[in-house]
Amino acid sequence: MSDVLSDVFADGNEDDTVFLTVTSDEAGERADVYLSAKLGITRSAAQKLLTDGAAALADGSPLKKNARVCAGDEFAVAIPDAAPPSAEPEDIPLDVVYEDGDIIVVNKPQGMVVHPAPGHATGTLVSALLFRCGDSLSGINGVLRPGIIHRIDKDTSGLICAAKNDRAHISLSEQLKDHSMRRTYRSIVIGGLPQDSGTVDAPLDRNRTDRKKMAVVRRGEGREAITHYSVVSRLPGFTYAEMKLETGRTHQIRVHMASIGHPVLGDHVYGGGSTQFEKKHPSLFSGQCLHAAELELTHPSSGERMVFSAPLPENFQRILSLLSTE
């Protein structure tokens, strides 16, 4: 499975089949072109899905690769099994916040990729977990993402939980689906938020012109995405804020904050980069100022409600200090 395709399931709700609905803007495209763009895979890979019958209209009708899709067409795409692992165990130090026979909670540093992807075959969190945990990781997500329940972006730091057996994996995945697993982030955004608290309720989907990016789309398109935010403190030209995820879509906080005119500081993808402050203090930036600070879940075996926290990275703390004094 391609890394872009796996992003579609970043909220932990991966199934063996993904369903797609053709919008009016996409109508008239060739089926292989549509699937290639929608899934973030090569055109030849999309053609193979169609030829093999792994991608067809949801009613079971096959579709030739050069057929034109129509608005309202629904596709069912059977996700192929993961390829052999490109991840090998690596002795990479981990900041382990908690570990037992069921789960491991890690404070991921900024710059670490969660699982192997093109250009990032080594140095991943998965490689570090394979070295530390050996065979005691859940196999539900296959060999490419053993034990991984949810993800955070490469340049976002903070808490991530992995399952060490399939029973724990199922329990934690259900908690993601019913929103009882609670994730709280801290972030610095550009500008002053207009309210002390608020909610961004805007569906997300792949950006039509850049498939590596996400974008807010019209209601009824894309996937539901809800972010709650509150002001921690107001700084000259910036806001230090807390975000709580009700859903967990790819790049959700970053896209949502950019959509209301307050992109995350240091986020060059969604408009938060190249500020005068960043240019003045380049050594403090290696990504966006976004940190997964708190994770709350129910332990899969004991049923105990558990809350984990991770302090802000040193560079994040230094940025806050400088912003409050400049």
Residues annotated as part of the active site: 153
Q: Which of 261, 265, 251, 151 is nearest to 198 (CA)?
A: 261
* Radius of gyration of the chain measured on its C-alpha atoms: 20
Contact criterion met (CB below 8 Å) for 295 and 181: yes
Start-to-end CA span in the chain (Å): 47
For the chain, give percent helix, strand, coil, nearest 5.
20, 25, 50
Strand partners, 239: 189, 234
What is the SS3 assignment for 32? helix
Q: What are the structure tokens assigned to 303, written together?
A: 């049923």
| Three-state DSSP state, 295 | strand
- Residues near 51 by beta carbon (within 8 Å), at least 6 away in sequence: 65
Surface-to-core class of residue 314, CB atoms within 10 Å of its CB (0-12 exposed, 13-18 middle, 19+ buried): exposed
- How long a stretch of residues is the chain? 326
Handedness of CA 216, 243, 227, 297 (dihedral sign): positive
